[in-house]
Chain A
Amino acid sequence: MGLTVEDISRLHKLSKRLEPIREGGVEAVDRDVGVIEDLFPKGKSSVELIHEYRRRGLTS
């Protein structure tokens, strides 16, 4: 079982979308601290949030 040219084209598209961006240093991480701080209730953990959206995705 091999890859078709269309498969390779799709993989190429994915690789371009998630290709690492090299410029900048560790400050790139610091700049993102709190970037969505007010979007979700503070009392809900990220683990809970992700589980909630998994359930919604599976049932909606």
Chain B
Amino acid sequence: MDRREFLKRAALTGIGISLPGLGTVIHQLEASEKIDLVVARGDSPSKITNAAVEAMGGIRRFISRGDVVVIKPNMGWDRLPEQAANTNPEVVATMVRLCFEAGAKKIKVFDRPVNDPRRCYVQSGIANAVKALGAELEYMDERKFRDMSIKGEALKSWPLYTEVLEADKVINIPIAKHHSLAKLTLAMKNWMGVMGGSRRQIHQKLDESLADLGLVIKPTLTVLDAVRILTANGPQGGDLKDVKKTDTVIVGIDQVAVDSFGATLFGMKGSDLGYVRAGDKMGLGTMDLSKLKIKRITA
């Protein structure tokens, strides 16, 4: 702590003591910091997203004035919102709006889709939703992938998208879906969307690779969209019978915890998912839900 920092803190403490009102605010902030996960349920995707972020301590806890923010939804498939293969556009739009309210200078939204990027961006409904708010929705530029040292168990290095690593803040907004190899794709697997190169090879050691990505990509906040979840024929679905409406979003900082909770929506436990186990073991986060402070709200 340098001298300037010391003076600042001393002054703040002084104000805190002299003004009882502000003291309780600070107290509340400290309490909210201890909440690990917020699970919000309700009919309106934007309302529950707003409420969940608020319960996590508010957007200003995460985004500062002038930040360059990367928002990474899952828009990997040429599917419509009701088919639950891509992140709910309302949830994404709500996060964009919140970040701008907190003073974000620039918000970039992108994904490296499996299907044609133009169709994925448009058909997912995300292009329309976020462009209207002034976020930058650009197609990924092949030149901006750079080989990054990961030093993980499965991935020693891999080309990753530099804009994610250079951003001031990164928000992960995945959707909860079935996946035949990973069992489920939730927050940790969403980072495959910023991998360059021949990422299809990572399926040979999928769980370890996904955990390894957590060594280099550390999102500020994760918002798991479970407004609609895809229970079979994932990760792209297509049959509305496989879609279940759960009207939920889960917000947290720890991706392992978010994914561990996400598994419960499908009647599984976090420990059923190999990458959650691997992430827990590597110390990336906490898989054991009983050790977490989970706040449930309805909005």
Q: Do these two chains really belong together in a complex?
A: no
Binding site for B on A (CB under 8 A): none
